[in-house]
Structure 1
Amino acid sequence: MYQSSIQQPNGEWMTISARSPDKEPSPVTQITLAEPLVESVRVAARAASALAASPPPPPPPPRCDADIAAHTARDEIKGINFEARLKRNDLNNNASRQQSTTPHAMPSQAELMQRQPLLARAAKLAPAAPADDSDPDLEHSPARAHQDFVVEIAAGAPREDRYPKEIWKAIVSFCFLFLCVCINMMSLSLVHERLPDRNTTAPLPDAVLDNVAARDWALPVSEYIIMLASSTAMAVVVFHKHRFIVARRLFLIIGLLYLYRSVTMFVTVLPMSSTTYYCSPKSNGTTPLLVVRRMFYLISGFGLSINGKHTYCGDFIYSGHTMVLVLSYLVVAEYSPRKLWPLHWALWGAALLGVAFVLLAHGHYTVDVVIAYYITTRLFWTFHALLLAPPRHGPAGGQPMTQREWWYWLFAYLERNARGPVPRRYDWPLPWPRAKLFSRLS
């Protein structure tokens, strides 16, 4: 390093410093010092080219947000209250985080369950629980039609609110039944006066009665079977958990059956099918007071000859005995669980045996039995088909044929708040004593 001073023309001195040639680094030394930097650039270039040639790595799986309660509170959600559920989730998540304080702590069971997918179709499904056949809602559930996992959204209301008691509707339905029974008995009291004399008019030809000798003891046996079958059906209704709903449905069905019967036996009066059955003598004149007296007289005997008060004849089309027997079986089969299948078969056999004894006693013509079976089953099944069909109105969808029944307005009033078939469950109708038998049957 050396310095020199040079005087400029204006008289000022300028100092010039210079490095001696022996102190300057050689070009070879400069290149040697730059080689590490060049090599690092080359390595970075090769890594960038290899990264560009390889496929991009898959994105990391989404992490479960443990602070869902705090984050959801900032969302603008209106009309939905998540407070209870979010508190429960936040409590579980915070507890799991508190337990795993170290970085390598084992995750808790709650964290492991949160990491599992919601709908794992490829995973092996756990064996499904046996279906509760006491609930007819499950018969129309999509889980019965598909094997995959199905999430069903609740109706929005508690299960008990879906089947309100509405006792006043049961009272209205019972009043309708009582009115129809009165009309039926009034029709019978009028038909009795128009009955052809059995001394001058022989019974009509019948394919069954003409080949079977009449047995008078068969009619009381048939009525005892009727009492047993109807008592069984009544017990099913009384001990049913939704007894008021079932009762009002049956009151409406039985009332319609008696109303139809009062019309059919009044418009066409058939001669007596039995030559030995006792019939009260006819009166010379029919007055409204006499008709009312006969009506209450027949009602007090429940329409059975074993009570000694069914002495007015002519109620043939259609058979009331067959109607009660068939309806008792339908009620037990519909509103009792399938595990009681021996009882169902017993009621079916009792109905068949009771009808056979009615024909053996010549209490009804065969056509009376056939018509009674047809009308009773069609009306019962039509009524319960309406429970499954949602109401539709308007020209686009059209109105189902079953909703064109003249009594549909009464059905719509009674079933306005009930949603389809009721579950087959039972309980004790009185506050005491409480037994576990009915919970087992349910």
Structure 2
Amino acid sequence: MAASELIQGDDDDNRPHLEVATVSPPTPPRPPRLSNGNPPRHASLPPPPTETHEGKKEECSKLSGLFQQNQLIHSLSRGLRKHCDYTKISVPEERADRLPSEWWKTGVAFLYALFNLVFTTVIITVVHERVPDKSVSPPLPDKFFDYVDRVPWAFTVTEVNGLILSGLWLVQWLFLKHKSIILRRCFFLIGTLYMYRCVTMYITTLPVPGKHMVCAPKLYNDSTGKIWRILQLISGGGLSLTGSHLMCGDFLYSGHTVMCTLSYLFIKEYSPRWMWWYHWLCWLLSASGVLCILIGHEHYSIDVLIGYFATTRTFWWYHTMANTHALRQASNNYLSQTWWNPIFNFLERNVQTPVPIVFSWPVNLPSSCRQRYKIVEGGRDE
């Protein structure tokens, strides 16, 4: 009886507790703030103090992550800003400085060519006094003359072709963009080739190549007469067409060969490759002009041959060194052993790249014309 009463007493004590738990539920807690928007489940609700502490931790971790991302973005933007400054400012300035005009160097090259051309006329006048008479020293045997008879008008064709080639080259040069660099190269090669010609004419004086040639009388010690002959030769450009070239002795090597060959080489070098028809036309003018020198019996075959080799080799050597910048500092570059290498370094020191073939108008348009052109182009774009 006592035990049953105790059990019953316990049951009586527990019943009110169970009724309180089912009848009067506790006050529902404040719903937590969730990032995904899903409603919370009552069975897995954490107690309010623990939920607040973890929310603070989560917010702190998010703030630290955002701070690190901002630092990374700032560092990347600074790097990109530096890179953009390099590509926008440094590279165009470097390219602009690789082909400077330097017209004053072109003026120096012009004086160099002018001096050698005038000096050539002086040497011709001196050599003319040493040419042996045709009756004493007949023309030397020449294999080309043995097979081809003389044509009187052939030498006129040579000079006409040379003038045409020179005119074409002058017009082409006027439309080139990098005029100064190309012109100083032309002046240097002309001066150097005519200086070589002065040396060969002076050290070896050949007799006239044909008895048809008429030479002016010798002046011997008449200095005034020699000066007048020099001025006459300069004024007529040394051409037989102008009647200014009546002296003999300037045979080794041929100046007309230099004029025809050098004009063609510059025309071909500084014109686009697609203008092949233009190259062939100039080559025909040059080759026929050189051939007519021999047909007219105005020079020995050795004069023309040496003139061709001297012109082409000097042109190719110079442009090989000018277009290949690595050769200038190479220790095994034997082209730098030439005597004119210091002059080359002076003229080409600041030219750091091959000269591109770019054409432009020789004369700048007036500002009013440029303004109208911009207005027309703007209207087309709209």
Is 2:177 the counterpart of 1:241?
Answer: yes
Alignment of 1:78-227 (within 5 A): 81-82=82-83, 157-227=93-163
1:327 is aligned to: 262
1:309 is aligned to: 244
Alignment-mate amino acid for residue 104 of structure 2: W
Q: In the superposition, relative to structure 1, how do residues 197 and 66 fare at CA in structure 2: closer, same or farther (>3 Å)?
A: farther
Match of 1:72 among 72, 76, 79: 76
Of Structure 1 and Structure 2, the greater helix share is in 2
Q: In the superposition, relative to structure 1, how do residues 413 and 217 fare at CA in structure 2: closer, same or farther (>3 Å)?
A: same
Deviation of the 1:201 alpha carbon: 1.8
**Matches of 1:371 and 1:69, distance apart in 2:** 71
Alignment of 1:7-18 (within 5 A): none
Alignment-mate amino acid for residue 177 of structure 1: A
Query: Deviations 1:139-169 (Å, cap 9, x if unpaired)?
Result: xxxxxxxxxxxxxxx9663533321111101
Match of 1:349 among 275, 284, 303: 284
Q: In the superposition, relative to structure 1, how do residues 73 and 363 fare at CA in structure 2: closer, same or farther (>3 Å)?
A: same
Query: Deviations 1:175-209 (Å, cap 9, x if unpaired)?
Result: 00001111111110100000011122211000011
2:41 is aligned to: none
Alignment of 1:267-416 (within 5 A): 267-287=203-223, 289-387=224-322, 388-390=324-326, 398-416=331-349
With structure 2 as the length reference, what TM-score do the two structures score?
0.73
Query: Deviations 1:214-263 (Å, cap 9, x if unpaired)?
Result: 22211112100110011111222221100111000010011000000011
**Matches of 1:352 and 1:68, distance apart in 2:** 70
Deviation of the 1:427 alpha carbon: 0.9
Task: Give ranges in structure 1 of 5+ residues lacking alignment.
Answer: 4-18, 24-64, 89-153, 437-442
Query: Contact 1:279 / 1:312 at 8 angstroms: preserved in 2?
Result: yes
Query: Deviations 1:369-408 (Å, cap 9, x if unpaired)?
Result: 1111101000000000111143555xxx524111111111
1:426 is aligned to: 359
Q: In the superposition, relative to structure 1, how do residues 191 and 84 fare at CA in structure 2: closer, same or farther (>3 Å)?
A: closer
Alignment of 1:251-262 (within 5 A): 251-262=187-198
**Matches of 2:109 and 2:300, distance apart in 1:** 31
Query: Contact 2:98 / 2:353 at 8 angstroms: preserved in 1?
Result: no
Query: Deviations 1:44-81 (Å, cap 9, x if unpaired)?
Result: xxxxxxxxxxxxxxxxxxxxx99976223567x9xx83
**Matches of 1:66 and 1:224, distance apart in 2:** 78
Query: Deviations 1:292-311 (Å, cap 9, x if unpaired)?
Result: 43322211111110011011
**Matches of 1:66 and 1:298, distance apart in 2:** 82
SS of alignment partner, residue 152 of structure 2: coil
2:166 is aligned to: 230
SS of alignment partner, residue 93 of structure 2: coil
Alignment of 1:33-48 (within 5 A): none
Query: Contact 1:323 / 1:376 at 8 angstroms: preserved in 2?
Result: yes
Q: In the superposition, relative to structure 1, how do residues 392 and 279 fare at CA in structure 2: closer, same or farther (>3 Å)?
A: closer
Query: Deviations 1:15-57 (Å, cap 9, x if unpaired)?
Result: xxxx99xx9xxxxxxxxxxxxxxxxxxxxxxxxxxxxxxxxxx
Query: Deviations 1:269-293 (Å, cap 9, x if unpaired)?
Result: 0111122232211013153x54443
Query: Contact 1:392 / 1:399 at 8 angstroms: preserved in 2?
Result: no
Alignment-mate amino acid for residue 208 of structure 1: F
Alignment-mate amino acid for residue 297 of structure 1: Q
Deviation of the 1:323 alpha carbon: 0.9
Query: Deviations 1:407-440 (Å, cap 9, x if unpaired)?
Result: 111111111111232110111111248999xxxx
**Matches of 1:375 and 1:217, distance apart in 2:** 27
**Matches of 1:85 and 1:203, distance apart in 2:** 70
Q: In the superposition, relative to structure 1, how do residues 74 and 424 fare at CA in structure 2: closer, same or farther (>3 Å)?
A: closer
**Matches of 2:94 and 2:276, distance apart in 1:** 31
Aligned-residue Cα RMSD (Å) equals: 3.1
Q: How many percent identity over aligned positions?
A: 37
**Matches of 1:196 and 1:68, distance apart in 2:** 92
Moved over 2 A (4+): 65-75, 80-86, 154-161, 289-296, 389-393, 432-436
Query: Contact 2:321 / 2:328 at 8 angstroms: preserved in 1?
Result: no
Aligned residues: 305
Tell me: higher relative CO, structure 1 or 2? Use CA pairs within 8 A at least 6 residues apart.
Answer: 2
Query: Contact 1:186 / 1:294 at 8 angstroms: preserved in 2?
Result: no
SS of alignment partner, residue 162 of structure 1: coil
